[in-house]
Structure 1
Amino acid sequence: MFDKLEDLIHHYEELMNILSEPDVASDTKRFQKLMKEQADLAPIVEAYKEYKQCKQNIDDSLQMLEDESDEEMRELAKEELNDSKKRLEELEQELKILLLPKDPNDDKNVIVEIRAGAGGEEAALFAAEIYRMYVHYAESRNWKVETLEVDETGIGGMKSVDFMVTGQGAYSVLKYESGVHRVQRVPETESQGRIQTSTCSVAVMPEAEDVEIEINEKDIRIDVMRASGNGGQCVNTTDSAVRLTHYPTGIVIYSQTEKSQLQNKDKAFALLRAKLYDLELQKKQDAESEMRRSQIGTGDRAEKIRTYNFPQGRVTDHRINLTLYKLDKIMNGDIQEIIDACIAADQAKKLANMNEDA
């Protein structure tokens, strides 16, 4: 590990020298690539520098204990020694985590797909609440949310909704939300006061660029039609809605959220690219050995990952055995604690697998 860290520091210094050259900024693409690489390496370099400083502090404290006879100075040296040893252990763990292989999609924007599952109208209402939960969370991160496709019910529910979240590192955080979300509560339509269990599924897909997913025009059928539903004056007056059919996979995308046919077409293709890219990621993950597969993350889409129990005011994440009694706050977008716990569990699993492989 330390040989690798020394190599990284050397490479980081080379990067800084290159970035200081006056003509580098003239090549925008190269400059952005170098800046991103520098930003990715900076936390590792800083942690390793602090690690080496702690090692030096330990050596200095031990030398002082050997040379010093004054009891007060010896006590100070012992205190410095204990603090440095404790921090050294923390930094070693931090460095192991920082050196874990990074998901190449982590910095990407995401497209989230929510589908109402078992539970009829109540499931559609729950799907709409989960959608709003993510919108509030994205707003708390100053991320942009753009609806791509939505199928609403008459009483405020959503049979399905697809939306894009644009923000630095969106996929690295939201990828832990993929799976089946379950709600337990008394529906407003339930006259007997019985608790009902309903579900919705969430799929989080990294945004795919044209260069990553090449779509053959012969594999696509594009239909244009008049939009329907709640959409203002343009509904049923212009052929603005777009439907894409991808023959090889059978994927059908329908987009009508914009007044412009061109904008709806762009949104539909963005969603199609994300779904095709996601299929490729799923194939790749299925091909990997179980040992290397992350316990937490973009795993089995049919996996029940979380329960929202309204009568008890609790939310339980079943993957990491975490239960929080702040359901109201969570439904209002306060999900960072759950995400942080998932990230920590994921890192712990990867470290354990790395130690097994070593």
Structure 2
Amino acid sequence: MIINDQIIDDIALGATVLGTGGGGDPYSGALMAKAAIAQSEKPVEIISLEQVDDNCMTVPSSMIGAPTVAIEKLNSKEQMLVAFEAMEKALEETISVTFPIEVGGFNSLIPILIAAQKGIPVVDCDAMGRAFPESQMVTFYLDGLPSAPNTLADEKGNVVTLHPLDGVWSERFARPITEEMGGSAAMCDYPMRGVDLKKSALGGTLTKAMNIGKAIRHANDNSENAVDAVLDIVGGQRIVSGKILDIHRTTSGGFVTGGVVIEKLQYSDNQDQPDSVVVHFQNELLLAHKGRSADDLSQENLLATTPDLISILDHETGQPITTEQLHYGQRVDLIAYPCDPKWRTDKGIEVAGPNYFGYEVEYQTIESLLETGGK
């Protein structure tokens, strides 16, 4: 599949849904990706996992940092290329393909920038099936693949190369370096051969993002319900249709953390929806429960929790809203849907379940929670 402007727009839109509130600003990412393919000497192609040569070197391209930083400090396409070429230098080898480490707004488009500048294809896969806030929260870590080397670059030209023991140490080292780089940085990690990528990556996620974006676009063009169109693809349900009553955000430590309170719309068709819902986030939306404050969190009030996916969409248009764009008065639909089965393993829940983030509740699948009152 040859990438064009419409495909970029559809991927950006759909990946922002799957990004669960994180992954960076899709608008600036789409502009940069379009400019990159326009300037490329040859078309940029998306290939399937099956088309990747077993012996070739593959490396993801991404940004690390708090999404709110990009509101004031625009990312630079040069720094992404610097990090990528620093990885080639560290490996002493040419990288044959790239791909997103996560499917989230801006981060799903960075590989297109790299591919256009390097003349290589983008693989239709990622390592999360969504967006997560920390470096070890990838299927590669679940499968025991090495993270090293890591390369980070900022817009000033600073480059750091790391050799962490694993993804956890990568996160510990890379996060404070990112803070010193101004709160966001380009990053490459988890270099691997094609044979390992095929075994560990989640295939078809860029295509899934594109199909979600296309469904939202078509629904709005035909005066249909765009949120329903998204739910048909992801296999989830609305938790609540409501209005944002309160939002608090803090940017520190390389993350944006906080919570949002959503009150059910009085004219909502579903009277079974909770009257109010609190959603907690750390870059991404992580947990939703009934009530009006964080103190209302309990196993009985739980509505959805990481690693399952939670998204906030505009009530009228189905447009996904990232955590840095949430504000008082927005009318939204809060939806939740299942994660990839790899995240429902014991290790997956240990790495990215609610307990890891400090929430004192046990993971329950979104299917079971919706049966008990989240519908």
Pair member with larger Rg: 1
**Normalising by the residue count of structure 2, what TM-score does the alignment of the two structures yield?**
0.21
- Output the TM-score relative to the length of structure 1: 0.22
Which one scores higher on RCO, CA 8 angstroms, separation ≥ 6? 2
Structure with more of its chain in helix, by fraction: 1
